[in-house]
Amino acid sequence: MWRSVVLLVWAAALLASPVMAQPVPVLVPGQRVRVTAPGAGLDGARARLVALSRDTLVITNVGATWRQGPVYGDTSRVGVPLREVRRLDVSAGVERHARLGMAIGAVAGGAVGALVGLAAPEGHGALCNLIVPCMTRGENVAMGVLAYASLGAVLGWAVGELIVTEAWDRVPLEMLVTAGPAPRRAVGLGLRLSLP
């Protein structure tokens, strides 16, 4: 009975706790964006944000996914009506995968080295100590794993350094409607105090 009460109180406290909201990405001119606006011919096009007004998203350097023709150079600007935008993402940065490549290369190289070490003959014969030191099968495996894992780690690091991915944060479309300059209509109230 006591456990049921504790579990019930714990569940109620968990359900009543406020859910943490995801931070909303900030739109800044010059930022990399990915725009999907089928009506404007953009299908996940990567570009740089130039400006955002109350009804238009202005981008430049649109990638090759713009269906109305490629746009090249810094001077090309495309105005996309906000009513056409179905999805907008902002770049959260690029990441290289050198450490992951190094780990995969070391594991794969170690496995190959173990097989090479198993296939190598044991050191009993005329060539023993003349060309290579005499080693047992276990020593052959250990040397193979060490050598091939090292080589695999270096090759994996090089390949992983070449692989670059970009992370994206989604911008809520409601934010696009409220972003931009405030309307010029304003009401002011003045107060003047005079003290003797």
Of residues 188 and 128, the one with the higher pLDDT is 128
Domain co-membership, 86 together with 170: yes
109 neighbors 152 (Cβ within 8 angstroms): yes
1 belongs to a structural domain? no
Which of 58, 5, 8 lies closest to 35 in space, CA to CA? 58
Residue 110 lies in domain:
98-162
Domain co-membership, 65 together with 114: no
How many domains in the chain? 2
17 belongs to a structural domain? no
Kindly report, residue by residue over 126-139, the tens digit of the pLDDT: 556 666 667 788 88
Q: What is the pLDDT averaged over residues 146-175?
A: 90
pLDDT of residue 160: 93
Domain co-membership, 112 together with 155: yes
| Lowest pLDDT segment from 42-51, 105-114, 118-127, 138-147 | 118-127
Of residues 64 and 90, the one with the higher pLDDT is 90
pLDDT of residue 132: 60
Give dist(CA 72, CA 76) in Å, integer.
Answer: 6
Of residues 140 and 189, the one with the higher pLDDT is 140
**Average per-residue pLDDT for the chain:** 75
- Cα–Cα distances in angstroms (integers) from residue 41 to residues 29, 44, 48, 49, 157, in the given order: 22, 10, 17, 17, 39
pLDDT of residue 193: 57
Burial group, residue 87, by CB count within 10 angstroms (0-12, 13-18, 19+): middle
Of residues 18 and 171, the one with the higher pLDDT is 171
Question: Can you read off the two tokens belonging to residue 147?
Answer: 């050598």
Question: Can you read off the two tokens belonging to residue 105?
Answer: 């290369």
Q: What is the pLDDT averaged over residues 4-22?
A: 51
Per-residue pLDDT at 111 exceeds 90: yes
Domain co-membership, 127 together with 89: no
- pTM of the predicted model, to two decimals? 0.54
Domain co-membership, 41 together with 85: yes
Local confidence band at 154 (pLDDT 50, 70, 90 cut-offs)? very high
Question: Can you read off the two tokens belonging to residue 46?
Answer: 């990567």
Local confidence band at 143 (pLDDT 50, 70, 90 cut-offs)? confident
Question: Can you read off the two tokens belonging to residue 143?
Answer: 């040397």
Domain co-membership, 85 together with 105: no
Per-residue pLDDT at 5 exceeds 80: no
